[in-house]
Structure 1
Amino acid sequence: MKIRTRLTILFTLITATILLAFASVIYISAKENREKEFYSLLKKEALTKANLFFDAKVETKTLQDIYKNNRQILNEVEVAIYDSSFNLLYHDAVDIDYVKETPEMIDEIYHKGEKQFYQEKWQVIGLRYEYENKNYIITATAIDQYGYNKLDSLLKNSIIVFVISILFIYIAGRFFSKRAFDPVKEMTEKAKVISATNLDFRLNSNGSKDELSELANTFNEMLSRLENSFDAQKNFVSNISHELRTPLAAIITELELSINKEKNIIEYKSTIQNALGDAKKLVRLSNSLLDLAKASYDPTEISFKQIRIDEILLDARQQVQQVNPDYKIDIVFENEFENDNQITVNGNEYLLKVAFANLFENGCKFSKDKQSSVSIGFEKEKIQLQFSDKGIGISEDDLKNIFTPFYRGENKQFADGNGIGLSLTQKIIYLHKGSISVQSKQHQGTTFTVELQTV
């Protein structure tokens, strides 16, 4: 069942329930009011007849004639008067006698003073009446045919109006739900044509702040993220293909030449060394890609714990110097720390080690003296790391794109690389909710400043 139909039915049921409750209250109130008003009328008639009988001394036959004459045209009130000993003093129509009074009934009315009850549809009221210091019992009864007819008419009209109202409400609900869901239907039709080839397509938004506009804006924002992701993926695949093709082509060429042409041992060794160098490039590239993938994970899927930054820096230095023994790396504390919390962060040990190793390696690789240093400073709830070198520096044009994946600037002629290291480092630092910036002057050196939150 579609939401439109479900909402229409739900709206109709809710409205029907409210109307039914409203009609029930009106009918019950009308019924109770009719009953109270008719009991009041019976009481007045009973007292009037008693006053005529006792005070005015109207003859019994005269009162009975009045009753019989009125009964021909309307439902006259039948009145009976008893003394306290259950002796009948007056009765409008003994032959009819709707009440059928009994000694027990008279005694109950006498003690209670007043009693109201039904005899089938006939309403009866019994009163204790005092006259000349004597107590009498008066009963009065009649059927409120006019009131019952009004109640029946009210019930029938209520049912008719209720049914017509439900039909009208259902039709109106279908109409307004269609109007309300037309924008959703339009969004659905447009969303169906969106694919990987036209992610630049966007849903229309009316510019208001209603839920549908918010949905359209949210969907458009999602499409923008997907479009950026697809574009990044295309660029990533294109760059990876290029980076992989170059060393693979070099390895294949070297090996084919060594097979097709007889060489001496020295030449074979040279070929093997060249192929080995290209193979190492592939290994470094694959490792960098794996680290880049890890740094791109959802932060909730990466384990974080409290780690000391100085220990991570020592491990990163050792890792770099194991591969490049001629690299010199210094770790300097600008000021002393008072407790371990100042040098402890909440992070992933492996990823931070990769980031710091990349900064160490870059500093040494692009310096003639193969030296790099990091200074550690402490601020309030922050730790600042400055990775410095006195290398060839970075031009102003390259500084703008230095964190772009696979970007290689003018320094690519100075040392090999694949353009992943700095973009990977930035991702890792951002993953740890830190910041990284760079300052550089050509032929004077480069300084990368990293700030991380302490625990």
Structure 2
Amino acid sequence: MNGLSVRTKLTAWYGGLFLLAGLVLVVINYLLVQSALPDPDRAATMAIRSADAVYGIQGNTIIGSPGATAQLLTGSLDEYRSSTLSTLVVGSAIALVATAGLAVLFGWLMAGRALRPLHDITSAARRLEAGKLDRRINLDGPPDELKELADTFDGMLDRLAESFDSQKRFVANASHELRTPLAVQRTLIEVALAGPEVPPEMRKLGTHLLHTNERSERMIEGLLVLARSDRGLQSRVPVRLDEVVATVVRATSAQAASAGVKVETRLRPRTVPGDPVLLERLVTNLVVNAITYNASGGWVYVEVRGDPALEVRNSGPVVPPEAVPTLFEPFRRVGSERTGDSRNAGLGLSIVRSVAQAHGGYAEAQPGRRGGLVVTVRFPPA
């Protein structure tokens, strides 16, 4: 943390103001005591006059001269006055230092108590994520400024959570509603192309429409999965991640062989509490992306271990480092426009990141040393 904390600054202010007030009090006390003590010269003169009057009435003579007597009395009173003021200053300084230390200590404790609600607000804000807006501060206490701030923050979180839920429901409902017309459209095109008398131009157009329809269906399916994972997990079951990877690799072996890509695995037992369907989709997206964005004769290496839980490396074209963060954004690809690549819908890594976050983990990527990409997924310990 740069600079002094607010608690330290408040403590310094408390201690400094108390020390200043104590110094003013000591000076005032010193002046009052100094004015209350008798003046040595005046007190000696008055004492000699009183003694002359007493001895004059009794008819006696004073032994010694009046000047020597006055000097002796003045010295004694001056010593008493100096000793009293010195004792006052030393005692006041010691008391001031001790009380200032106690003031700093109590100031530190009181500042911490006063700032505790702010720490609760800061902690709640740090734990917030787009998919986890269920945390609230619920500050107890008198209706002061801090209570008002905490309640305002809770109200803002309620509105944000409602807005995010509404957005996710809209995406899920819209994606679900779009699946039916796309399926009907695909069926109509296939029926139209099944006839023996279809002209070549019409067959070419129908084939292109089928590819476009297939891409739209993949995009809608990806949006549904993305909306589901963004909502969070309703329940968790133990999932063997290594077994999921083995199943996905077997299912994509034909695609890898067709692309001329060799897939190798190194699987250690690893259990992840979560949703088996979403975890399988995460692994599928990573393996399919590694096969699709590769070169003939390339390779894909999939490893399951402790930390990271999953790592997928592949050969392929060189990926610029500055382009890696954008790969986790929806509809973003390297080296192509938003609609320039019909192999995938551009949601693969977005779904990977969303599923990982729904399971309390995260996904990250970095360029391979000789091209391709290295994607790692980390999950909390089982």
TM-score, normalised to structure 1, is: 0.42
Structure with higher strand content: 1
Point out the structure with max Rg over C-alpha: 1
Higher relative contact order (CA closer than 8 Å, sequence separation 6+): 2
